[in-house]
Amino acid sequence: MTGEEVRAAIIDILNDIAPDEDINSINDTAKLRDQIDLDSMDFLDIVMELRKRFNIEVPEKDYEHLATMASCVTYLQPLLKDRQFAG
């Protein structure tokens, strides 16, 4: 997956978790939490969706990397680089 594809995969997950939100207008460098009302339950869901869809484990100490879209992509892209985007 390219960085763009990883971003699309995350958008996909966010659309699933928050279907009523306007995910497309997300600012990549601002905190996700401030833009789409994500609480700690939602962050766990993002982690669990990553596990379900890509079989990757995000340990609790790394949750901070999921704070913004840009940091998500930076953190996840190396883990997903050999995957095909199914999006």
Q: Is 17 in the site for other proteins (CB under 8 A)?
A: yes
Cβ contact 65:72 at 8 Å: yes
DSSP letter, residue 53: H
> Residue 11, interface with other proteins (CB under 8 A)?
no
Closer Cβ to other proteins, 16 or 28, answer by number: 16
Instruction: Give burial (CB, 10 Å; 0-12/13-18/19+) of 18.
Output: middle
Residue 64 sits in the site that holds other proteins (CB under 8 A): no
Q: Given the rule CB under 8 A, which residues bind other proteins? A: 16-21, 36-37, 39, 41-42, 44-45, 47-48, 51-52, 59-60
